Structure 1
Amino acid sequence: MSLSLLLFPALGFLLLLLSKKLTPPSLGCLISFYQNRHRLLTWYTELLSESENQTIVVHRLGAPRTIITANPDNVEYMLKSNFSNFPKGKPFTELLGDFLGLGIFNVDGHLWSLQRKLASHEFSTNSLRDFTVQVLADEVSGRLIPILENAAETNSVLDMQEVLRRFAFDTICQVSLGMDPSCLDMSRPVLPLSAAFDSASEISAMRGAAPVFAVWKLKRALNLGPEKDLKDAVKVVRGSVDEIILRKKEMMEDESGGDLLSRFLGAGMESEMVRDMVISFLMAGRDTTSAALTWLFWLLTNHRDIEQRAAEEIKIGSDLGYNDLKEMNFIKACLCETMRLYPPVVWDSKHAANDDVLPDGTPVFRGNRVTYFPYGMGRMEALWGKDRLEFRPDRWLDETGAVRMVSPYKFPVFQAGPRVCLGKEMAFIQMKYVVASVLRRFELVPVRDERPVYVPQLTAYMAGGFSVRVRRRGNVV
C-alpha cells in the first residue's frame, strides 16, 4: 500500500469555513473548533456531508490555505486529470525528508518518474508475486499459527494488533530487503532496525501534528528533544540498511535473490537511492496491511454471520496458492468494506503548483494544500447510500458474486492515477493469506466490550491495541 502523510490540523490554530461560504475568520469558528477538538474526524465528515459540493476550506495561522474534499470529481482531477499541478510539494517532503530521503514516496518530478518506472516493472513480475506468497507461507506456518495455537491452548490474552504489526514487519523486510528481522519470534530481542523504525515513524508523525512547523524546524536545527531522537533513529535505520546492501552486493556475485533490494541493485541503481527506495517500501507496507487486518478481525467479531461466510469460502485442503487467493472474492469484499470504514491512511495531501479551479468550482491558489479525505468519503451518503455506516461486504459484489468495480476516485485508499499504489495486489495477497489462515482455524474473542478508538497518525491504528482470546474453530475448514 502507498504511503501518505497525515497532515492533521493543529489544535487551536484552525478557522474552518464551508467552501460555498467563504467569510472572514470569526470567533465563532474558533469556538466551534474547540468544542469539536475531540471528534475532529467526525466533525469534518459532518461538515463535508453538509457542504453542497463535499468540500470545505481550512485556514490555519502560519500554514497554507487548505482545501479538504470528499468529492470524487475533485479527487480524480488532483490524482489524474491535472496530476502535474498537484505534486506532493515541499511542505510534505520536508516533513519526511530526514527519514525517507529521496525515496519514491517523498519525491516529485524526474526522481519520482525514474523510481516509479523501475519499481513498476518489478512489481508486475510473476516472480515477485511467487516470492511474496512463499514468504507468507513460511511466516504464517512457522510463526503466526504457532502463536495463535499457544494462545488457544493456554487461554492467554493476545494483542492481535501487535501480533499483526510484527508479522507485517517480518514480511515486508523479507520481501523488500531479503532479511528476516524475526519480530514474531518473541524469544529473540527486538532488532535495532525495528526499534529505530518505530521511533522514526512516530516522531515524523509528530512533525505533521505540530501547531507551528517552525517549532520542530528550530528543534532540528538545535538538535533538541524529539528531533535529536529522530536523527539518532534515522542513523540506525540507514546504517542497518546500508549494511544489508553491502552484504547483498557480496552475495549477488554468486546468485541474485527474489527480494526488491536484489532486483533494484541488479538494475544498476546507486546504493543511496536504493536505500531510500526500500526504506520507503518498508514504511508503506509496514503498518498499512496490519491496520486493515486489525479492524477487519474486530468487525468480524461483531458480525459472526459474515465471519462464517468468509470461513466457508476457504477451500478444504487448499494450500493458499496465488490462484486460491485470487478466487476469494468474499474475503476481498470484507477487506474493501473494512478499508472503506477504517482506511489505513485517513487523508493525503498535495500542494498546488499553480492557481487552479477544482471541478466543483472551488478556487485553488498556488501553494494551497489540497487534501482528499478517504475516512470522510467512506461515510458520505451521497457516495454509499443510507447504510453507509454499516459493515456490509455485499455492496462490493455483483449478482454473480464477483468483486464489483468501484472507481478508485470514490475509494482512494490505494491512491489512483499515476501514483496508484504499486503494492496494491501484494497487499491483497498478504491480507487474504492472513485472513484465510486465521479463519480456517480460529475464532477471536475480544476481551473488551467497548468500541475501539480509531487513531489517525501516519497510519491509523486502534488505541490500546486489540486484546483477544483465541478459540479453535468448531469446524475447521
Structure 2
Amino acid sequence: MSWTHTFTNLCDWYTHLLHNSPTGTIHIHILRNTITSNPDNVEHILKTRFDNYPKGKPFSTILDDRLGKGIFNVDGDYWKFQRKMASLELGSVVIRSYAFETVMDEIQTRLIPVMASKAHGENGTEIKTVLDLQDILRRFSFDINCKLSFGLDPGCLLPSLPVSNLADAFDLTSKLSAERAMNVSPMIWKMKRFFNVGSEKKLREAVNVVSNSANEIIKQRREMGFATRKDLLSRFMGLINNDDIYLRDIVISFLLAGRDTIAAGLTGFFSLLSKNPRVEEMIRKELNQVLGPDQESPTFDQLRQMHYLNATVHESLRLFPPVQFDSKHAEEDDVLPDGTIVKKGSRVTYHPYAMGRMKKIWGPDCLEFNPERWLKDGLFVQQDPFKYPVFQAGPRVCLGKDLALMNMKSVVAALVPRFDIRVVEPHHEPQFVPGLTTTFRGGLPVKVIEKKMLST
C-alpha cells in the first residue's frame, strides 16, 4: 500500500511502473500477476495464444454469484454458444433499430428535460445549482439497458430522480464483487460467505434482489409471450427454451456490460470536454454542418457521418477506458513477445488505462485530449486494436461496440449543442472507486448552462 503516499489511484501507480519498465511489463510477485502495456504482448494474449489465456477459474469464482454462466464469466462451450447467439442478435437490423429508437426516446423525453431543469441561461448571474452528472448518466444508462435487455423501464431518470432498489442492488453487487478481488487471499471472502457475514451477507442480499427481479420478468414474459418483442430477453427466449436460470445469467451479463461501461465512458467524456472548449466548439460546428439549422436530432446514418464526433469519443475512451484493466489466467507455461516468462496458473493482465498514457504508444502528447490524432484528411481512422484494447480485441472483441458508440455519440450530439457543461473543480484529480468499471469517487459535480434561452 506504499503507493498511496504518492498516487491517488492504483491505476496511476501501475501506469508509473509500466512507463518506467523497459519492456512495458511488470510482475507483482505477491499477486502472481504479470501486468503489461506492451501492444505485442496484448496481441499475443488476446489473439495469437488466445486458447492459453481464458478468463480462468479464479476470475469466474469471484463473479459466479453475480454473473453465473453469463458470457463474461465463462470459457469454452458456454462462451462459444453465447458468443454466436449474441453476434447474430446484436448485429441484426431489428436490434440496432430498437436500440437507437430506445436511446433517442430516453434522451428526448428524460435526459434533456432533466438537464434543462437544472440549467441556467447564458445570461444568468450566479449559478448555484450543482448537478452530479455521473449519477444522471448512470440513471440514463440503466433505463436504456433495462429496456434493451429485459424490455423493462425502471424509470430511474424520471423528473423526481427516484430511488430504484434494483439499480442500487445492481451497483452494490458490482462494488462488493470487485472488493473480493482486492483481498490478499480468496479464503477471506470465502470464509465470510460461508458464515454469511459482513460484505458477503450484503452481496448475497443484493444478488437476490437482482436475481428475483430477473426471474419474475422471465416468468411474466413466458406467460405473456415473447415472439413479437424486440428486447434481448425475448430474442434469446426463442433459442433457450428450458433453462431460465441460464437465460437470466446471460441477460444480466449484457445489462452489466451495457449499463456500467456506457455511463463510465460518458462521465469520462464530459469531464474532459469541460476542460477543452476548443473541442466542444468543433463538435458543435460539425453537428451544425451535418444537421443544418432546423434538425435537432441526428439519424443513425448521420451519426456515422460525424468523423470529428467519433474521434472525440474514441479519444476520451483512450484516456478514461470504462474497464481500466482485464485479466486472464495462463493454462500452460508461456513466454510473451517481450521475453516475459509466464507460469502456468498465473494471472496475466493488460492495462488499457495505462496504455492510453504511454509515450511509446501515443507519442509525447499522450496525456492531452487531442481528437485530431484519430483523423486523416478530416476522416476518422481506426487505430490498431492491440494498442487500443478498450473494446478488447481478437476472438473476444466486444460485440456491443457499435451500439455503445452509438449510445455515447447520441448523448453527446444531444447535449453539447444545448448546454455548456462545466466541471465544478476542473483541476481536481479524479479518484476512482474500486469496481469492475471506472467510477469517479464523489461523482462528477457540474454546473449546466443552457445555450438557448426559452422565449416567454
1:419 paired residue number? 396
1:262 paired residue number? 234
For residue 69 of structure 1, report the CA deviation from its aligned partner. 0.4
Asked if the contact 1:48–1:70 (Cα under 8 Å) also holds between the matched residues in 2, the reply is yes
Task: Out of 178-187 and 441-450, give the one that drifted further.
Answer: 441-450
Counterpart of 1:332 (choices 285, 290, 310) is: 310
Question: Is residue 91 of structure 1 aligned with residue 63 of structure 2?
Answer: no
Asked if the contact 2:237–2:247 (Cα under 8 Å) also holds between the matched residues in 1, the reply is yes
Describe the shift of the 1:37–1:338 C-alpha distance in structure 2 as closer, same or farther (beyond 3 A): closer
Describe the shift of the 1:390–1:189 C-alpha distance in structure 2 as closer, same or farther (beyond 3 A): closer
Taking structure 1 as the reference length, the TM-score comes to 0.89
Asked if the contact 1:452–1:463 (Cα under 8 Å) also holds between the matched residues in 2, the reply is no
For residue 299 of structure 1, report the CA deviation from its aligned partner. 1.2
Secondary structure (helix, strand or coil) at the match of 1:102 reads coil
Q: Equivalents in 2 of 1:383, 1:357: separation in Å?
A: 22
Counterpart of 2:109 (choices 115, 125, 142) is: 142
Q: Equivalents in 2 of 1:430, 1:113: separation in Å?
A: 26
Residue segments in structure 1 that go unaligned for 5+ positions in a row: 1-10, 12-31
Q: Equivalents in 1 of 2:17, 2:337: separation in Å?
A: 19
Q: Equivalents in 1 of 2:266, 2:225: separation in Å?
A: 35
Counterpart of 2:320 (choices 339, 342, 358) is: 342
Task: Out of 182-191 and 465-474, give the one that drifted further.
Answer: 182-191
Residue by residue, what CA displacement relative to the aligned partner does 1:167-206 show, whole Å, maximum 9, x if unpaired?
0000000011111000011437433221211111111111
Residue by residue, what CA displacement relative to the aligned partner does 1:199-223 show, whole Å, maximum 9, x if unpaired?
1111111111222221111000110
Asked if the contact 1:87–1:108 (Cα under 8 Å) also holds between the matched residues in 2, the reply is yes
For residue 43 of structure 1, report the CA deviation from its aligned partner. 2.8
2:375 paired residue number? 397
Describe the shift of the 1:39–1:465 C-alpha distance in structure 2 as closer, same or farther (beyond 3 A): closer
Q: Equivalents in 2 of 1:85, 1:48: separation in Å?
A: 23
Asked if the contact 2:275–2:426 (Cα under 8 Å) also holds between the matched residues in 1, the reply is no
For residue 34 of structure 1, report the CA deviation from its aligned partner. 6.8
For residue 448 of structure 1, report the CA deviation from its aligned partner. 2.5
Residue by residue, what CA displacement relative to the aligned partner does 1:353-391 show, whole Å, maximum 9, x if unpaired?
011111111111100100001111111111100111111
Question: Is residue 56 of structure 1 aligned with residue 9 of structure 2?
Answer: no
Describe the shift of the 1:449–1:34 C-alpha distance in structure 2 as closer, same or farther (beyond 3 A): closer
Asked if the contact 1:452–1:462 (Cα under 8 Å) also holds between the matched residues in 2, the reply is no
Alignment of 1:116-135 (within 5 A): 116-135=83-102
Describe the shift of the 1:383–1:298 C-alpha distance in structure 2 as closer, same or farther (beyond 3 A): same
Counterpart of 1:440 (choices 391, 400, 417) is: 417
Question: Is residue 374 of structure 1 aligned with residue 357 of structure 2?
Answer: no
Secondary structure (helix, strand or coil) at the match of 2:345 reads coil
Q: Equivalents in 2 of 1:37, 1:298: separation in Å?
A: 20
Q: Equivalents in 1 of 2:119, 2:299: separation in Å?
A: 26
1:200 paired residue number? 173
For residue 153 of structure 1, report the CA deviation from its aligned partner. 4.9
Secondary structure (helix, strand or coil) at the match of 2:40 reads helix
Q: Equivalents in 2 of 1:434, 1:151: separation in Å?
A: 17
Question: Is residue 408 of structure 1 aligned with residue 385 of structure 2?
Answer: yes
Q: Equivalents in 1 of 2:428, 2:120: separation in Å?
A: 27
Secondary structure (helix, strand or coil) at the match of 1:56 reads strand
Q: Equivalents in 2 of 1:142, 1:207: separation in Å?
A: 39
Q: Equivalents in 1 of 2:208, 2:10: separation in Å?
A: 35
Question: Is residue 322 of structure 1 aligned with residue 300 of structure 2?
Answer: yes
Residue by residue, what CA displacement relative to the aligned partner does 1:207-247 show, whole Å, maximum 9, x if unpaired?
11222221111000110111011111111111100111111
Aligned CA-pair RMSD: 1.8
1:29 paired residue number? none
Q: Equivalents in 2 of 1:289, 1:34: separation in Å?
A: 29
Secondary structure (helix, strand or coil) at the match of 2:447 reads strand
2:38 paired residue number? 71
Code of the residue aligned with 1:142 in structure 2: it is T
Secondary structure (helix, strand or coil) at the match of 2:28 reads strand
Identity %: 47
Q: Equivalents in 2 of 1:33, 1:130: separation in Å?
A: 47
Secondary structure (helix, strand or coil) at the match of 1:67 reads strand
Asked if the contact 2:297–2:413 (Cα under 8 Å) also holds between the matched residues in 1, the reply is no
2:212 paired residue number? 239
Secondary structure (helix, strand or coil) at the match of 1:219 reads helix
Counterpart of 2:435 (choices 443, 446, 457) is: 457
Secondary structure (helix, strand or coil) at the match of 1:180 reads coil
Asked if the contact 2:240–2:247 (Cα under 8 Å) also holds between the matched residues in 1, the reply is no
Asked if the contact 2:114–2:159 (Cα under 8 Å) also holds between the matched residues in 1, the reply is no
2:124 paired residue number? none
Describe the shift of the 1:57–1:185 C-alpha distance in structure 2 as closer, same or farther (beyond 3 A): same
For residue 475 of structure 1, report the CA deviation from its aligned partner. 9.9
Asked if the contact 1:318–1:324 (Cα under 8 Å) also holds between the matched residues in 2, the reply is no
Q: Equivalents in 2 of 1:149, 1:37: separation in Å?
A: 37
Q: Equivalents in 1 of 2:423, 2:28: separation in Å?
A: 39
Residue by residue, what CA displacement relative to the aligned partner does 1:236-268 show, whole Å, maximum 9, x if unpaired?
111100111111122226x42111001000223
Asked if the contact 2:8–2:431 (Cα under 8 Å) also holds between the matched residues in 1, the reply is no
Q: Equivalents in 1 of 2:420, 2:69: separation in Å?
A: 43
Secondary structure (helix, strand or coil) at the match of 1:461 reads coil
1:164 paired residue number? 137
1:304 paired residue number? 277
1:383 paired residue number? 361
Code of the residue aligned with 1:271 in structure 2: it is D
Describe the shift of the 1:413–1:228 C-alpha distance in structure 2 as closer, same or farther (beyond 3 A): same
Task: Out of 156-165 and 450-459, give the one that drifted further.
Answer: 450-459
Secondary structure (helix, strand or coil) at the match of 2:411 reads helix
Q: Equivalents in 2 of 1:260, 1:126: separation in Å?
A: 13
Secondary structure (helix, strand or coil) at the match of 1:453 reads coil
